[in-house]
């Protein structure tokens, strides 16, 4: 019980996360399952630990089923609501799996966005080249899995424009992201091609500040906050399920909104 109570603030989650990385795979999975079900089940039925693992398994399966339901519910033509600039949340909250002291500061000059996987033209992109792509802007609501939300203004290139430019296989299942803060996540191709999915370089008309994901983030008003990676340094297209930082710990993969 004490372990679970401690996983309440972000900093503590980082500590646990790092501890987990030091554990071999099976113990990680065991920890996940027990952490998920121990408290609840001991309250409800007093089940033994072995039962807990099977309940955790069942819950994971339902979560994967919910991925499919969300993919089915997702309408590629339905736009998230947009707002006037006056409704932008100020200050816009900083949120990450670490505190502000660990925000990565990426150097612009030698930065190259790496591309891999099912992409025809995998040459890396400099920031100058990316800034020359057609730019769009959106004022949309960022909804966090925790329940809070905030309205922000992001500018950048429509992600589908970029994917087409680099010759990505648009029939592939997933687009994955690796970030300068060691965060990683992946999304489904229909969401990647959604009109409001944007590779963002600015926030509120300014170059994306470090706390919001410099040099670039993927902005998707159709997905929860943890699906919107910041500090992206590499993008890949694949048919193999890539998972994600929070998703591997139990957050729902589709994370649609």
| Cβ-based nearer residue to other proteins, 131 or 251 | 251
Exposed/middle/buried for 216, CB within 10 Å: 0-12, 13-18, 19+? buried
Q: Is the peptide bond before 91 cis (omega within 30 degrees of 0)?
A: yes
Contact pick of 23, 40, 94, 182 for other proteins (by CB under 8 A): 40
| Residue pair 67/253 in contact by the 8 Å Cβ criterion | yes
Outline where DSSP puts E strands in 84-220: 114-117, 136-143, 149-158, 174-179, 184-188, 198-203, 206-207, 217-219
- Non-local (6+) Cβ contacts of 19 within 8 A are none
Note whether 222 binds other proteins by CB under 8 A.
yes
Note whether 257 binds other proteins by CB under 8 A.
yes
| Binding footprint of other proteins, residue count (CB under 8 A) | 43
Q: Shortest CA distance to 91 belongs to which of 227, 215, 212? A: 212
The residue assigned the tokens 């959106």 is 138
Contact pick of 96, 113, 118, 143 for other proteins (by CB under 8 A): 143
CB of 63 to other proteins, least distance (A): 6
What is the dihedral angle through the alpha carbons of 89, 92, 97, 98, rounded to the nearest 10 degrees? -150
CB of 97 to other proteins, least distance (A): 12
Note whether 112 binds other proteins by CB under 8 A.
no
Note whether 86 binds other proteins by CB under 8 A.
no
CA atoms within a 13 Å half-sphere pointing along the CA-CB vector of 196: 21
CB of 211 to other proteins, least distance (A): 19
- The residues pairing with 40 across neighbouring beta strands, listed in sequence order, are none
| Cβ-based nearer residue to other proteins, 36 or 106 | 36
Contact pick of 21, 24, 25, 44 for other proteins (by CB under 8 A): 44
Note whether 8 binds other proteins by CB under 8 A.
yes
The residues in 47-76 that bind other proteins, with binding defined as CB under 8 A, are: 58-60, 62-63, 66, 70, 73-75
| Cβ-based nearer residue to other proteins, 56 or 213 | 56
Residues within the interface to other proteins (CB under 8 A)? 4-5, 7-8, 35-40, 43-44, 58-60, 62-63, 66, 70, 73-75, 78-81, 141, 143-149, 221-222, 246, 249-252, 256-257
């Amino acid at each position: 019980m004490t372990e679970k109570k401690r996983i309440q603030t972000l900093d503590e989650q980082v500590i646990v996360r790092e501890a987990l990385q030091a554990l071999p795979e099976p113990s990680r999975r065991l920890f996940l399952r027990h952490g998920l079900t121990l408290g609840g089940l001991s309250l409800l039925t007093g089940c033994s630990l072995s039962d807990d693992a099977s309940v955790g398994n069942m819950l994971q399966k339902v979560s994967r089923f919910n991925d499919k339901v969300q993919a089915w519910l997702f309408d590629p033509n339905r736009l998230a609501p947009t707002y006037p600039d006056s409704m932008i949340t100020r200050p816009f909250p900083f949120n990450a799996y670490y505190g502000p002291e660990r925000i990565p500061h990426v150097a612009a000059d030698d930065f190259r966005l790496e591309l891999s996987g099912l992409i025809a033209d995998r040459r890396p992109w400099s920031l100058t080249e990316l800034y020359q792509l057609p730019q769009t802007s959106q004022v949309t609501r960022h909804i966090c899995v925790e329940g809070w939300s905030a309205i922000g203004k992001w500018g950048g290139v429509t992600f589908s424009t970029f994917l087409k430019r680099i010759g990505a296989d648009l029939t592939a299942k997933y687009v994955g992201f690796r970030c300068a803060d060691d965060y990683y996540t992946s999304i489904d191709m229909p969401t990647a091609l959604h009109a409001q999915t944007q590779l963002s370089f600015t926030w509120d008309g300014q170059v994306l500040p470090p706390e919001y994901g410099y040099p670039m983030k993927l902005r998707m008003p159709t997905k929860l906050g943890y699906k919107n990676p910041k500090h992206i340094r590499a993008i890949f297209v694949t048919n193999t399920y890539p998972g994600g930082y929070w998703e591997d710990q139990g957050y729902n993969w589709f994370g649609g909104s």
